[in-house]
Every structure is written in structure tokens, then in C-alpha cells.
Amino acid sequence: MVIAHLLLPVSLLAQDYVAPRDEFGYPDLNGVWNFNDSTPFERPTSFGDREFLNEEELAAKFNRLASSQSRRSQREQDVAQRVLEVPTDDTGAYNTFWSYYDEPFPNTRTSMIIYPSNGRIPTTQNGVITQRSPPPSNPCNDGLVVIADRPSRISFGAISCDRPQDFGLASRCLLFPQTTGPYIKANSYNNNVQIVVTRDYVMLYTELGNDPRIVRLDNSPFLDHRIATWTGSSRGRWEGDSLVVETRHFNPNMASIFMRAVAFGSAAEMVLTERFTRVGDGALEYEFTVDDPATFTEQIVGVTHFSRLDAPIYEFACHEGNYALLNMLRGARLEELRAEGYDQ
């Protein structure tokens, strides 16, 4: 892994940078952008209120990433050899071939969250439901299902295996919190977004989930609040050289903030504000603000970085026809039969 740019924070690039203009006179945001960022979403408590890593910590972080990637590659070679000799239940669907870890303009912060000042998700309001994915040892959450927790707002896993709606949103190929949930943040792969800017519209098309968001720039009103969707109703405007996108009217079956294994509240009342700013050649800063007083006691503000990618966006097909979901339900019924003494 190349770490030549470790000491080149994007915030420094922005000081004297003049963004190129597109044909409409807007700052040119067009293109495919990669948002790899190994920065944790929440700040580890050991950093306290310190917002940035020092030089040694940043170098150590990237060295750990490089070492981890090397170990994963070696482990996959060992596993591949064993699979040729011994049958396995592991499909091995994802390997390091699909993972791209380079961060040309790395985030030097100790967390993506910059507000609250401790870099952590604030406390939730009284009565807000927080859902957690079950442990691998109990994938169907047997004995722990709380009917009041429905609908399932978690990303992966299931609050039960009783019905499709109890599986996580990503498991059902509906929404992927790493990239479109609803703010943009890094996953382990497919961290790419294509931005297309016209005079009156902006399209934001993330590779993971490939659900394009169409942002109107014509000062038109938001859709009626009764029309609630997974990606909400978005309206944009230019503030100086920053594209500001405000989104509201999210599907209430989506969490306000959801991580890979935890989901906080409902996004029904959430307002998301995003800022896209060119800060250097091939560099873009992305800031998001989650304002949801029905779920959290404070706003949440986060920052990550995009780098231009000279490559197209490919289709992310998830599991076509939802065959995987059907088989997960079928497998759960088989486990129930086995528990009752049936082996066939």
C-alpha cells in the first residue's frame, strides 16, 4: 500500500484551491469518485476530544492496513488450497480481489464524526428503539424476538427468520448503510459514487446498491411528506463552491443512523444535509449533518473524503431474484424441522 500522501490532509489542499468550472459555471464535481476511508465512524474513547491523528499514528494506521491486507491474501491462498481438497460450506464469495484500500487523500481525523465534539453518536431520546444484529451463534435471534421492535431496521442479520420483513435491509437488497444509508461512508468494497451535474439536476449514483438519487436544483418544493422513500426527497443549491443537498421524507422503516450491526431509531423525521466541495485536483470533501431530534439529543456532523477514480461504475446486482433470501427462509424452516426430530 502506497502511503506517500499520508501527510497531505484535504483541509490543507482547500486553502488556495480554485475549482474548475463545468459548462454551467458550477464547480466541476462530475465524474466517478472513490470514498475509501479507514477512519472509524465513532472516535475511540482513548483519543478523548482529540480530532486529528499525529504523523506517527497516521503512518501506523496505514501500515496496519497494508499488513492486514497481506495477511488476508495469504489466508485466502491457504483456504483456496484446502477447498480443493476438502468440501466446505463456505462459498468464499468475497475475497481481497474485490477490496480496494488505497486512500490517495486520507482522512487524518480520529473519527468521521466531528460533532458532537467527542466524536461519538449522541444519546437517543427516551423511548427510541435501538436494534442490534444477532450474534453469529444465534443468526435467527431465537428466543430474543421482540414484536414491538418490528419492522427490522438493522442492516445485516435478522430480528427473526420468520418472514422476509424480519431480515436486515441489506440482506434484502433494499438499502446499504455503508454507502447510501442515507449519508455516504466507506464499506469494505464498492466505495464509488458517480456524480453528474446539469443545470437543473444532480445525480448521485453509488455503486453499492446502485440506487440513483436525483437532486433538483430549481428551488421546487420537496415531495409531500406522505411520499416517503428509502433515499428521501432531495433538493440542492450552491453555496459558494459547495453543492448543498438537503433530503427529508425518508421511509420510516429505515433507521436514522445505522451501522453494520446496530440501528438507531427511525428516519421518519430526519433531515439530512450534505455538502460536496472540490478541495484539490482529484479531491473532494464530503460533509453530512443528521438532524433528527425525534431520535437523538444532538445533531451529528461527519466528514470524509472522495478521490477521483478513472474507472466506470459497474452494476451491483446483489442477489438477483432474491434467491438468497428465499433460501435463508427455507434454511430456517429446515433447522426448525431438525430441532423437532426430522432429519429429511
- Quick: pLDDT tens for 105-144: 888 999 999 999 999 999 999 999 998 888 888 888 776 7
Tell me which residues of the chain have a pLDDT lower than 50: 1-8
Residue of 43, 60, 84, 65 whose CA lies nearest to 300: 43
Q: Does the residue 135 lie in any domain?
A: yes
Phi, psi of 157, deg, nearest 5: 85, -155
Helices of type H across the chain: 10-13, 55-85, 177-180, 323-339
Q: Does the residue 204 lie in any domain?
A: yes
The pLDDT score that the predictor gives to residue 223 is 94
Q: Does the residue 261 lie in any domain?
A: yes
Residue count of the chain: 344
Q: Are 274 and 245 in contact (CB under 8 A)?
A: yes
The pLDDT score that the predictor gives to residue 27 is 96
Phi, psi of 295, deg, nearest 5: -110, -45
The pLDDT score that the predictor gives to residue 13 is 59
The pLDDT score that the predictor gives to residue 123 is 97
The pLDDT score that the predictor gives to residue 344 is 61
Cell 491462498 locates to 77
Q: Does the residue 73 lie in any domain?
A: no
Q: Does the residue 89 lie in any domain?
A: no
How is residue 255 written as a grid cell? 433507521
Q: Does the residue 71 lie in any domain?
A: no
Radius of gyration of the chain (CA): 21
The pLDDT score that the predictor gives to residue 8 is 47
Q: Does the residue 117 lie in any domain?
A: yes
- Please give the residue range of the domain that contains residue 139: 21-43+107-308
Q: Are 142 and 116 in contact (CB under 8 A)?
A: no
Record the pTM: 0.86
The pLDDT score that the predictor gives to residue 183 is 82
199-238: pLDDT as tens digits? 999 999 988 877 789 999 999 999 999 999 998 999 999 9
Q: Does the residue 313 lie in any domain?
A: no
What's the structural domain count of the chain? 1
